[in-house]
Amino acid sequence: MTSNINGILPILHTPFDANDEIDRDCLKREIDWAFEQGSHGVCSAMVSEILRLTSEERIELNELIVEITAGRGSVVASVGAESTKQAVYFAKRAVDAGCNAIMAIPPISTALPLPALRDYFGALADAVPVPLIVQDASSYVGASIPTEFYVQLLDQYGPEKILFKPEGAPIGPNISDLRDASDGRARMFDGSGGMLLIDAFRRGVIGTMPGIDLLDGIAALWTALKNQDDATAYRIYFPICAIVALQLQAGLDGFLAIEKYILVKRGLFDTDRRRQPNSWSLDSETQREVDRLLTMLTDALAAT
């Protein structure tokens, strides 16, 4: 069931045209580029702005991703919502569209007690035949998920059905905690935009789900780590880490603003339009620093 859900699975951004509609042409360029960089699949998730899309758009986005991917890799759809009924609906529609797995954060409007978490994620696991990736995105949205709950879910459904993307701080120690508490059964993905990928890799993750803006660097970094080439890994890692540090300053909107700027700079998007309202926009000084760091990343990749 999970044989293809591993490796490099970037989170796609949702491109918008001048009318604030999903731009299919830019989405195709983005997905084609992802597979050119060596991705094993693609995902919709938080930086896809799914929380700012209408219900119809969330369904449409996953349908477009499956269509454009055309079997070149796995497609993971983020289905988390504020009610179990909503989340199950999105999950079923994602599977109907052809997605290979679903991923969900808990509701973000309240911190759920363990019985409510079990009901929510249990309903999702039971609703569809594909794997469920349980995501703790509490470093930038929502509440944290305790390790004991992860292990209970894993005991109930098994590692072929339940996977994890633990992004609650402190991320590295939490990965190790889940690894040890599950006796190595937990199959985990790194997030964090790649900022913690080296640390997460050494703690046993089976893949990474970064933003797509730095995917050429992430792919080269992943390869270097697999090859135990520390010198190359760190040379690539440092500019990636510095860019993500800038993104983290403003939470989710920091990631959106800077990542979409980079996608425009790469020629993949026509515009960096985001769904409104936003809490932060890219200022000129941050932009110049991003440009300098992108040049450093390009040079590091050329040196490999």
Which residues are annotated as part of the binding site for pyruvate? 209
**Cα 180 versus chain centre, distance:** 24
Binding positions are 209
Give CA–CA dist 51/30, Å, rounded: 20
Enclosing H/E stretch for 11: none
How large is the angle between the packed helices 251-265 and 230-248, nearest 10 degrees? 120
* Residue 65 in tokens: 């991703």
| Identity at 150, one-letter amino acid code | Y
Q: Which two tokens stand for residue 208?
A: 């990474």
Coil, strand or helix: which one is 115?
A: helix
Sign of CA dihedral 198, 3, 141, 52: positive
- CA 133, CA 292: separation in Å to the nearest integer? 35
Helix (H, G, I), strand (E, B) or coil at 16: strand
Do the Cβ atoms of 61 and 50 come closer than 8 Å? Answer: yes
